[in-house]
Chains A and B, each alone.
Chain A
Amino acid sequence: MQVYADNAATTKLSETALDAMMPYLTETYGNASSLYRIGQEAHQGVKKARATVAEVLGALPEEIFFTSGGSEADNWAIKGVAERMAKKGKKHIITSAFEHHAVLHTVEKLEKQGFEVTYLPVYENGIVHVEDVRNAIRPDTALVTIMYANNEIGTIQPISEIGAVCHEKGVLFHTDAVQAVGHVPIDVKAQNIDLLSMSAHKFHGPKGIGALYCRKGLRFPNLIEGGAQESGRRAGTEAVYAMVGMAAALKEANDHLAENAEKLTRLRDRLIDGLLKIESSRLNGDREQRLPGNVNVSFEGVEGESLLLYLDAEGVSASSGSACTSGSLDPSHVLLAIGLPHEVAHGSLRLTLCESNTEEEVDYIIRCVPGIIKRLRDMSPLWERIQKERGQN
């Protein structure tokens, strides 16, 4: 059986999105800036796509700026606000310890340029405390940037509450909502979000396209100088097919938001319960306040890369937060941020489901994992040591 369970990494393009995109790759190839018919048809495609994305987020079309994806949107939002606020003498940024690297590496770069960054703790359950945000805000705070939902452990942050605090204190609020858009209901106005990053391929849209929502009236530097595309803020001929595909996928996801979440939550909980039956395992991140499709479990005495490659051999695609999968010597900063010891973080397994996954697939994973864990533990000197230590106590 082949089971794709890495939907937080990327998702399969939806047929609806593909169908919507195809005409723009074949017949309607005009430049959206051109005045003749196929140019104007392309322009209509962009316009409609922008309106759809705006509607889903509760925003205005002119507040949506298409980008190449989530990382670009994060970079643009944070660097843009930093540049503008620095002129007002505000050089303090508040973020969390477990943001995506698109945010963390961006604020680290700003630190080198003289900004001060407060990294809020995320506690054992992987959730930022609203009071910590309030207490961290200073007169010189330029921006609060807290992710909507964590990409590894799926924990959903109290975005509305953080938005309210920022609004009350008059501080700009950006959220990296790459993992949340299309999966949980979002209303940028009601939630007091000033800037929001999103990426199409996380909700069955095409890769290479995303967007930044930027509240109207917020003055903000351009990203790319050139033509008048994206209100002149991000020049370059539009990838019309990608924008149209993103909008179609988002509309589809949003139309089925509640039913997908209900189905996924059921599958997720079944998978969590099944995996936690394995000895010396733990769920990483809050069990309730988490994305409906996210499962992240650690198994003591095993290393994550070996685990996921053995799972791959059984047909299951998953990911891990071990050092060996991160390409560095340290395990995932997310798992360390929630207080996991290195050796437990190395043994983590992330399985992220989407609405097309089935109960049979979940049960197949539940059947595969124990045998692999046993095989790895049988050859693990670390597991031998853990067992010995337990025997002595």
Chain B
Amino acid sequence: MEYSEKVMEHFTHPHNVGKLDDADGIGEVGNAKCGDIMKMYIKVDDGVITDVKFNTYGCASAIATSSMATDMIKGKPLSEALKLTNKAVVEALDGLPAVKIHCSVLAEEAIKAAIKDYYDKNGIAYDPAQFNEDTEHYEHHNG
């Protein structure tokens, strides 16, 4: 198993680590038993993610995907952030070892959970289908 240079760069010097005390939305996914938990904090202004921070308990790929995913949604409209896929994050990291792909799903889920939390807190209507949690990560871990 080998990590790309990009993964190692984001793992050793992760971007956007921390919390936002005045976050508009917080999403937490994963579980301790599986060895990865990701918590995402977003600040939203006029439908745009103006700031994002994360806290992650997990392996190098979990930390690197958190870092890359937060970079990719920072300054982006919510609609665009919702379209971010784990595949795009993995590609941006120049790939992940096959056994680690499931870690990347967590980042996509954490972002969606944070946005959903923002919608819920602000009474914004949305299509629940886009927050369908029936994704690879959960199948993988609960299967």
Contacts and interface: CB of A to CB of B under 8 A. Distances in A.
A384 interface: yes
A342 B57 contact: no
Interface stretch (A19-27, A289-297, A300-308): A300-308
A303 B12 contact: no
B11 A306 contact: yes
A342 B37 CA distance: 13
A44 to B, nearest CB: 43
Interface string A318-345: 0000111101110100000000011100
Contact of A306 (B33, B39, B63): B63
A304 B62 CA distance: 12
A379 B56 contact: yes
A381 B34 contact: no
B55 interface: yes
Residue among B17, B18, B57, B59 having the largest count of chain A Cβ atoms under 10 Å: B57
Given A310-B12, A331-B35, A346-B35, A382 B140 contact: no
Interface residues of A, number: 29
Chain B interface category by residue count: 20 to 34
Contact of A380 (B14, B28, B57): B57
B136 interface: no
Interface centre among A328, A329, A381 (most CB of B within 10 A): A381
Given A306-B59, A381-B56, A343 B35 contact: yes
A1 interface: no
Interface string A131-147: 00000000000000000
Contact of A381 (B38, B59, B63, B99): B38
Nearest to B19: A384
A328 B34 CA distance: 10
A324 B32 contact: no
A383 interface: yes
Contacts of A381: 28, 37-39, 55-57
Contact of B56 (A310, A325, A346, A380): A380
Given A324-B100, A384-B55, A309 B33 contact: no
A329 B37 contact: no
B60 interface: yes
Max count, chain A CB within 10 A of own CB: residue among B12, B18, B37 = B37
Nearest to B140: A329
Interface string A35-66: 00000000000000000000000000000000
Nearest to B58: A303
Contact of A327 (B35, B54, B99, B141): B99
B74 to A, nearest CB: 17
Nearest to A313: B12
Contact of B59 (A322, A328, A380, A384): A322
Contacts of A329: 34-35, 102, 140-141
Interface string B86-113: 0000000000000110110000000000
B36 interface: yes
Which of A310, A346, A385 has most chain B Cβ within 10 Å?
A346
B125 interface: no
Contacts of B129: none
A381 B36 CA distance: 9
A322 B56 contact: no
B57 A302 contact: yes
A322 B58 CA distance: 10
A382 B57 contact: yes
Contacts of A304: 59
A306 B55 contact: no
A305 B56 contact: no
Contacts of B35: 303, 322-324, 329, 331, 342-343, 346
A313 to B, nearest CB: 6
A283 B119 CA distance: 45
The 5 closest A-B pairs by CB, nearest first: A324-B59, A343-B32, A305-B59, A346-B35, A380-B57
20 contacts: A303-B36, A303-B57, A303-B59, A305-B60, A309-B8, A309-B11, A309-B60, A313-B12, A322-B35, A322-B59, A324-B58, A324-B61, A324-B100, A324-B103, A331-B35, A346-B32, A381-B28, A381-B55, A381-B56, A384-B55
